[in-house]
């Protein structure tokens, strides 16, 4: 545990009551970051931010080039900075280290320079060198970028996130000087639908969409209140009580990441997934791709190498509900519509 964590203890992920849909979506994105992130929409005070930040404890370690501000992968050219690539081509031996997958918070009031990074023009003109001060996108490379209240984010910052999320690279240009660095991150956003809708372009960038509501059962509400009171009174002791469960879940996620390349999904299931997307008039092929990836990730999480129809049933709503075209006259919920179409095509009763 880092000193920062000791200064501000984090509520344990395994202690969070309910909200299974949100927790599953987050875990699957850690297992396979190429799913493309998750958007969490729900009422105020339903534990959205608490759950996302609790994910920090479960994140596995990755290998990075030591003292590199971009968390460059020493083995993957797509995830390494230009400087590291030059060092490799010149035959230098890189020093590497292990770090936890980084999780970066994007504040609502952040400026474009803070997000993208800045170029020191004076140093560039006087010394003839590119002096770059990395921003939040550099820190988030190969990690998680979390945007709370994402639907309140300024439009120009949304555009920056869209560009980086789509290309995996961040380009900063000032006065004719251009610097490019890798920015491959899992985009996690949360928001309250009452505070405004998300732009369709940004919504489509999220691989999954979890909808959560306020817990209604009085017994569960009491349990949540008691847990929160215990945590606030003595956070370190409360965390110690969940250490075994946390360690077990972390181990399960690590094993799933290693098993993932071996997981297979049958041709018949792939056709049926595409059939569902076609029936629902989902634009583009992102829905097909994400559903296939998520089905493999949940099979790996369960310790299997073969995807079942039950796996697809559990994740297909998360992957497709936000991709359906909005119809103001529609009375049926988008999630229910996805599940009904799934049952028809998979011939489930």
Which residues are marked as active site?
Answer: 286
Whether 339 and 317 have beta carbons less than 8 Å apart is answered as yes
- 103-105 vs 144-148, strand pairing mode: parallel
Per-residue buried b or exposed e for 104-115, using 16+ beta carbons within 10 Å of the residue's own CB:
bebeeebeeebb
Residues 283, 289: Cα–Cα separation, whole Å: 12
Residues 51, 14: Cα–Cα separation, whole Å: 10
330's CB contacts (< 8 A; 6+ apart) are none
DSSP 80: S
From residue 12, alpha-carbon distances to 16, 188, 213, 225, 342 in Å are 7, 18, 20, 15, 34
Residues 226, 221: Cα–Cα separation, whole Å: 9
Residues 289, 3: Cα–Cα separation, whole Å: 40
């Amino acid at each position: 545990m880092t000193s920062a964590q000791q200064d501000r203890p984090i509520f344990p992920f395994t202690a969070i009551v309910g909200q299974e849909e949100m927790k599953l979506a987050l875990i699957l994105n850690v297992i396979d970051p190429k799913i493309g992130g998750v958007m969490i929409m729900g009422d105020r005070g339903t534990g959205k931010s608490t759950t996302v930040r609790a994910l920090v404890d479960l994140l596995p370690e990755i290998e990075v080039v030591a003292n590199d501000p971009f968390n460059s992968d020493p083995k993957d050219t797509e995830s390494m900075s230009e400087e590291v690539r030059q060092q490799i081509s010149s035959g230098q031996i890189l020093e590497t280290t292990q770090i936890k997958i980084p999780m970066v918070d994007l504040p609502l009031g952040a400026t474009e320079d803070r997000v993208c990074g800045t170029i020191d023009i004076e140093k560039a003109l006087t010394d003839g060198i590119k002096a770059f001060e990395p921003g939040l996108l550099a820190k988030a490379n190969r990690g998680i970028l979390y945007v709370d209240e994402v639907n309140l984010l300024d439009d120009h910052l949304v555009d920056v996130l869209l560009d980086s999320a789509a290309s995996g690279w961040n380009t900063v240009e000032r006065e004719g000087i251009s610097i490019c660095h890798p920015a491959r991150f899992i985009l996690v956003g949360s928001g309250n639908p009452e505070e405004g809708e998300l732009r369709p372009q940004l919504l489509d960038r999220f691989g999954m969409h979890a909808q959560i509501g306020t817990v209604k059962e009085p017994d569960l509400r009491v349990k949540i209140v008691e847990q929160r009171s215990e945590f606030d009174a003595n956070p370190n002791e409360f965390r110690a009580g969940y250490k075994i469960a946390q360690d077990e879940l972390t181990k399960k996620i690590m094993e799933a990441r290693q098993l993932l390349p071996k997981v297979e999904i049958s041709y018949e299931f792939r056709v049926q997934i595409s059939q569902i997307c076609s029936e629902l008039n989902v634009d583009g092929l992102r829905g097909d791709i994400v559903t296939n990836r998520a089905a493999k990730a949940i099979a790996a999480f369960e310790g299997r190498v073969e995807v079942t129809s039950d796996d697809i049933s559990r994740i297909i709503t998360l992957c497709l509900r936000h991709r359906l075209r909005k119809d103001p006259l529609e009375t049926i919920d988008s999630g229910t519509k996805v599940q009904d179409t799934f049952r028809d095509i998979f011939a489930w009763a």
